[in-house]
């Protein structure tokens, strides 16, 4: 458990006034960065003391702040807290009862602080504690009484640092059973034998013992002996193994039949390697691993060729550096070492070739991992040998992270591995796929992720159960793979899900980080067996169908589970929903049922329109409008005529005595009675020649100018007549035509052209004011203001009628004379 001292950029953050926990003035501060699962991440917050956090918090990350003290009250009330992380602060003092209320605490990290002494009381109430990290603090001893006494459930313990000098018997009393045990004791000077011996059963042990291995071999031996058990994997860190003597501490371990030995950050010479192999001669060691190893020698290890390492099953080397790479000898002498292991990994170690003769030594090899090296197509041919006998047992080949370009080369080379099931050729530079390729018939797993493929072809073996094509430039997929269970297509350019019919056995599909716009029920249904889908981080168009579908799928309806969580599904468009998690989008009815909405609103508008129309028609609004317009127009032309008359000065003489307005239906009366009577008066009737002088009448039938607008004609007729006679009857009231005339004359009258006498009403049939429809208010008004003449049905009274009419028509003249 090595903790990165990489909190230095936190210091940068401190300089910025970015402190996301707001200071509340009195020096106390709060941190509100808690998520829905009550996990509060107050890391990198610039806090100088423990901030106030909700008491319901389950995990509290206070790492990488500048807290220097934890007082007795700081964490009071945090009974539910399960995990507390204080690493990377400046803690120098912790109140003895600071953690007393944390009786649920399972995980406590105090690493990378300034604690110069441990206090046994800190941990006395933490009965639930399972993990404790005290690394990288400046205490030199654990102190007494033993600090971990009450931690009955402790399973992972890490302590020590550059200052740790002393470990005594009883320091770890109370600690009995650990899954992981880490001690940084690079500068350990005093060790009381047996101090670590009581911990059993013991899982993985990690020890940093740099100085003891150089200067105090007895101490190193004692420590190593106390933690060595056959089932306990041991990792040793920071060792510098130079000569014969520096490997002697392993003698005790060898005697205790150590089986899993790892080195991390190791520097080793040839002599030390040979002597280590000698020390481990005959030991049932199954796994030897070196992570971060510097080989200072030339690889001359054959002096140990007599030793027995038949039990070694796995060699793991990562990040190896050969100081003297040009003088490094071949491994040809290492048959005694290489013929046994079934697993060999040489990762990120600048291997550009493994010569064929070396490969031939690896007769038991089933698993070969040469990832992240410098292999090319050419050296791969050499490494895998072009014969059928080499690496016959190979089942897994991992050559990811090499500069390989030709897919047909690798396919040809691996065909001979008749047991090969896994091939990892990810992170290579394959840019195209041949149209067909040979493969071993056993191949089940193929990883070509992180290459530069743009298309797929039938080159892909149909025996595949797992295929990883993520992080390429693929746009589509058309190969049928009948037994495929897992397909990974993330990080490509897919616009839609591949057709499910191609993968009748597919159970898992990942297609994140593509350009999918949407997918739906029918897409998923085409995959008959699909259970797990990860399709987040795409460019989703949040249409109603998609949102509804996804929300129900997230809820767990349907057979397919979305494994990558609700928050990965975010709308990309429409713009107003961009960045919104699809699961939390609410689309309105207007958006979702647009057609229905539009039809309904159109229907409604139409209905309202019709209703309004009917209403207006019932209220005769159109008629009024028509009238107003006609009147305005007529006014205009009348004014024109007036002007002309003024200019011509022909004002005096009006050509007609009266304009007769009547309904067409009453034409017979007008023609048979009115016109003869007034225009051609009988001698009989006339005692007074003056009164019986013929009158000139204006009748629309006779005197209107053809081709002129009717309203104009009416207007001018009224203007050119001294009087207007209205022949009122049911017919008149019914006729639009007559209404015009009435109205014009009426406007005329009230415009003051002539006096109120200008209109004469003749009632052809008895017509009371109330029979006239209400909207003819003018006619009604006229009827009440003007006396009207009634046409008598009896013959004998008609002479009287004519006399009255003539009198009315001449009324003005007689007075003038
Ligand atoms: C808190 O956030 C930091 C980055 O700011 C992250 O490294 C850390 O893992 C987070 N801690 C938890 C418990 O999620
Ligand atoms: C590796 O070990 C050396 C001592 O041999 C030490 O100085 C160095 O810091 C270690 N490196 C790491 C990354 O721990
Ligand atoms: C290494 O040291 C041991 C004991 O100190 C001795 O028995 C052995 O012969 C030495 N081996 C070599 C190769 O010097
Ligand atoms: C071991 O190597 C020596 C040379 O260092 C050689 O003489 C001897 O034959 C080898 N023995 C075996 C068993 O390979
Ligand atoms: C191959 O190696 C890479 C990197 O070391 C690793 O991520 C991958 O899981 C390995 N593949 C297999 C099949 O073990
Ligand atoms: C394929 O390889 C990549 C990179 O080496 C790795 O991250 C990924 O997990 C592998 N895929 C599978 C399905 O193992």
- Residue 34, strand partner residues: 40
Burial (0-12, 13-18, 19+ Cβ within 10 Å), 605: exposed
For position 2, what pLDDT does the model report?
46
Say how many Å lie between the CA of residue 326 and the centre of ligand 5. 29
Query: CA 574 to CA 591: how far, in whole Å?
Result: 11
- Determine if ligand 4 sits within 6 Å of the CB of residue 329: no
In a domain, 699, yes or no: yes
Do residues 299 and 277 touch, judged by C-beta distance below 8 A? no
Domain boundary among 56, 72, 107: 107
3-state secondary structure of 701: helix
Say how many Å lie between the CA of residue 237 and the centre of ligand 2. 8
- Determine if ligand 6 sits within 6 Å of the CB of residue 444: no
Which atom of ligand 2 is nearest the CA belonging to 238? 2
C-alpha angle 491-497-501 in degrees, rounded to nearest 5: 130
For position 443, what pLDDT does the model report?
97
The 10 Å Cβ neighbour count of residue 112 is 25
Supply 297's token pair: 């020698």
Length of the chain: 817
In a domain, 13, yes or no: yes
Say how many Å lie between the CA of residue 402 and the centre of ligand 6. 14
Do residues 11 and 216 touch, judged by C-beta distance below 8 A? no
Say how many Å lie between the CA of residue 527 and the centre of ligand 5. 28
Residue with tokens 């006494």: 149
In a domain, 749, yes or no: yes
- The range of the structural domain enclosing residue 689 comes to 655-813
Which atom of ligand 1 is nearest the CA belonging to 85? 13
For position 632, what pLDDT does the model report?
77
The domain that holds 4 is classified in CATH as 3.80.10.10
Candidate of 426, 484, 485 to mutate for ligand 6, largest count of ligand atoms within 8 Å of Cβ:
426
SS (H, E, C) 501-529: HHCCCCCEEECCCCCCCCCCHHHHHCCCC
Cis, bond preceding 21 (omega within 30 deg of 0):
no
Say how many Å lie between the CA of residue 398 and the centre of ligand 5. 6
- Residue 468, strand partner residues: 447, 488
For position 12, what pLDDT does the model report?
39
Give residue 587's Cα distance to chain centre: 15
Which atom of ligand 6 is nearest the CA belonging to 466? 13
Domain boundary among 107, 132, 165: 107
In a domain, 677, yes or no: yes
For position 19, what pLDDT does the model report?
40
Say how many Å lie between the CA of residue 244 and the centre of ligand 3. 6
Burial (0-12, 13-18, 19+ Cβ within 10 Å), 118: buried
pLDDT, block means (10 residues), the chain with 817 residues: 45 39 54 91 94 94 96 93 97 95 96 96 94 97 91 96 95 94 97 94 97 95 95 96 92 92 97 95 96 94 93 97 88 89 97 93 96 97 90 96 96 95 97 95 97 95 97 94 97 95 96 93 92 94 90 87 90 91 86 83 92 85 73 72 65 74 82 84 55 77 75 74 80 68 56 57 78 69 75 85 83 46
CA atoms within a 13 Å half-sphere pointing along the CA-CB vector of 259: 10
Say how many Å lie between the CA of residue 238 and the centre of ligand 2. 5
- Determine if ligand 3 sits within 6 Å of the CB of residue 243: no
Domain boundary among 87, 107, 127: 107
Do residues 210 and 246 touch, judged by C-beta distance below 8 A? no
- Residue 317, strand partner residues: 290, 346
Closest to 215 in 3D by CA, of 182, 251, 187? 187
Closest to 117 in 3D by CA, of 159, 73, 175? 159
Say how many Å lie between the CA of residue 389 and the centre of ligand 4. 25
Q: Which distant-in-sequence residues (6+ apart) come within 8 Å of 673 by Cβ?
A: none
- Determine if ligand 2 sits within 6 Å of the CB of residue 184: no
For position 730, what pLDDT does the model report?
79
Q: Which distant-in-sequence residues (6+ apart) come within 8 Å of 132 by Cβ?
A: 108, 110, 123, 148, 151, 154, 156, 157, 158, 159
CA atoms within a 13 Å half-sphere pointing along the CA-CB vector of 356: 13
Say how many Å lie between the CA of residue 470 and the centre of ligand 1. 27
Supply 664's token pair: 């067409």
- State the angle between helix axes of 377-384 and 407-414 in degrees (0 to 180), rounded to the nearest 10: 0
In a domain, 28, yes or no: yes
Q: Which ligand is nearest to the CA of 241?
A: 2
For position 406, what pLDDT does the model report?
96
* Backbone torsions φ then ψ of 721, nearest 5 degrees: -115, 150
Candidate of 35, 43, 82, 85 to mutate for ligand 1, largest count of ligand atoms within 8 Å of Cβ:
43
In a domain, 243, yes or no: no
For position 159, what pLDDT does the model report?
97
Number of domains making up the chain? 2
In a domain, 126, yes or no: no
In a domain, 41, yes or no: yes
The domain that holds 679 is classified in CATH as 3.40.50.10140
Which atom of ligand 2 is nearest the CA belonging to 186? 4
Closest CA to ligand 1's atom 1: 41
């Amino acid at each position: 458990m090595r903790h990165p001292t990489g909190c230095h950029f936190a210091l940068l953050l401190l300089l910025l006034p970015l402190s996301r926990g707001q200071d509340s003035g009195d020096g106390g501060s709060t941190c509100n960065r808690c998520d829905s699962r009550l996990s509060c991440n107050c890391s990198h917050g610039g806090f100088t003391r423990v901030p106030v956090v909700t008491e319901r918090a389950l995990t509290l990350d206070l790492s990488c702040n500048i807290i220097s003290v934890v007082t007795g009250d700081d964490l009071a009330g945090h009974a539910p807290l399960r995990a507390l992380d204080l690493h990377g602060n400046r803690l120098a003092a912790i109140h003895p009862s600071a953690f007393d209320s944390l009786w649920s605490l399972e995980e406590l990290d105090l690493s990378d602080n300034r604690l110069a002494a441990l206090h046994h009381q800190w941990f006395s109430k933490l009965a639930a504690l399972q993990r404790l990290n005290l690394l990288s603090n400046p205490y030199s001893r654990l102190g007494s009484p033993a600090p971990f006494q009450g931690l009955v459930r402790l399973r992972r313990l890490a302590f020590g640092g550059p200052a740790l000098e002393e470990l005594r018997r009883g320091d770890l009393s109370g600690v009995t059973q650990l899954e992981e045990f880490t001690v940084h004791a690079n500068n350990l000077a005093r060790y009381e034998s047996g101090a670590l011996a009581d911990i059993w059963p013991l899982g993985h042990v990690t020890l940093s013992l740099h100085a003891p291995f150089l200067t105090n071999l007895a101490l190193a031996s004692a420590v190593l002996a106390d933690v060595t058990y056959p089932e306990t994997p041991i990792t040793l860190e920071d060792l510098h193994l130079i000569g014969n003597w520096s490997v002697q501490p392993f003698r005790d371990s060898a005697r205790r039949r150590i089986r899993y030995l790892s080195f991390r950050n190791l520097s080793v010479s040839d002599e030390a390697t040979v002597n280590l192999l000698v020390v481990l001669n005959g030991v049932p060691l199954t796994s030897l691993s070196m992570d971060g190893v510097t080989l200072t020698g030339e690889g001359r290890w054959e002096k140990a060729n007599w030793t027995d390492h038949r039990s070694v099953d796995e060699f793991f080397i990562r990040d190896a550096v050969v100081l003297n790479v040009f003088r490094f000898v071949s491994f040809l002498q290492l048959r005694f070492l290489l013929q046994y292991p079934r697993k060999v990994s040489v990762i990120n170690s600048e291997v550009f070739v493994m010569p064929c003769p070396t490969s031939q030594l690896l007769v038991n090899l089933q698993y070969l991992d040469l990832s992240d090296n410098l292999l090319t197509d050419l050296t791969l041919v050499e490494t895998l040998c072009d014969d059928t006998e080499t690496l016959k047992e190979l089942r897994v080949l991992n050559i990811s992270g090499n500069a390989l370009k030709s897919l047909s080369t690798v396919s040809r080379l691996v065909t001979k591995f008749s047991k090969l099931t896994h091939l990892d050729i990810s992170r290579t530079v394959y840019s195209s796929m041949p149209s067909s390729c040979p493969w071993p018939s056993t191949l089940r797993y193929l990883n070509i992720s992180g290459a530069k493929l743009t298309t797929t072809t039938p080159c892909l073996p149909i025996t595949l159960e797992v295929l990883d094509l993520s992080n390429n430039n693929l746009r589509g997929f058309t190969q049928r793979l009948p037994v495929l269970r897992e397909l990974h297509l993330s990080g490509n350019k897919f616009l839609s899900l591949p057709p499910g019919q191609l993968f009748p056995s597919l159970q898992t599909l990942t297609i994140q980080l593509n350009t999918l716009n949407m997918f739906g029920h029918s897409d998923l249904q085409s995959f008959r067996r699909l259970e797990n889908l990860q399709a987040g981080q795409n460019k989703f168009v949040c249409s109603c169908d998609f949102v509804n579908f996804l929300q129900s799928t997230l809820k767990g309806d349907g057979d397919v589970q979305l494994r990558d969580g609700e928050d990965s599904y975010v709308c990309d468009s429409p713009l107003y929903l961009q960045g919104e998690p699809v699961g939390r989008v609410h689309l309105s009815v207007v958006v979702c049922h647009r057609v229905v909405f539009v039809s309904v609103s159109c229907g409604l508008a139409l209905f309202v329109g019709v209703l309004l129309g009917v209403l207006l028609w019932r209220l005769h609004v159109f008629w009024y409008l028509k009238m107003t317009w006609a009147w305005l127009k007529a006014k205009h032309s009348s004014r024109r005529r007036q002007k002309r008359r003024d200019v011509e000065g022909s004002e005096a003489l009006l050509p007609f005595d009266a304009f007769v307005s009547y309904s067409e239906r009453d034409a017979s009366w007008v023609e048979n009675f009115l016109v003869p009577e007034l225009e051609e008066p009988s001698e009989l009737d006339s005692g007074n020649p003056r009164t019986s002088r013929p009158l000139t009448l204006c009748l629309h039938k006779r005197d209107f100018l053809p081709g002129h607008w009717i309203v104009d004609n009416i207007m001018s007729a009224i203007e050119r007549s001294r009087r207007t006679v209205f022949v009122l009857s049911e017919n008149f009231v019914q006729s639009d035509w007559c209404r015009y005339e009435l109205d014009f004359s009426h406007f005329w009258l009230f415009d003051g052209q002539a006096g109120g006498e200008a209109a004469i009403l003749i009632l052809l049939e008895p017509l009371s004011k109330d029979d006239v429809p209400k909207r003819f208010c003018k006619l009604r008004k006229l009827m009440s203001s003007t006396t009207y003449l009634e046409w008598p049905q009896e013959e004998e009274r008609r002479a009287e009628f004519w006399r009255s009419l003539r009198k009315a028509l001449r009324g003005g003249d007689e007075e003038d004379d």
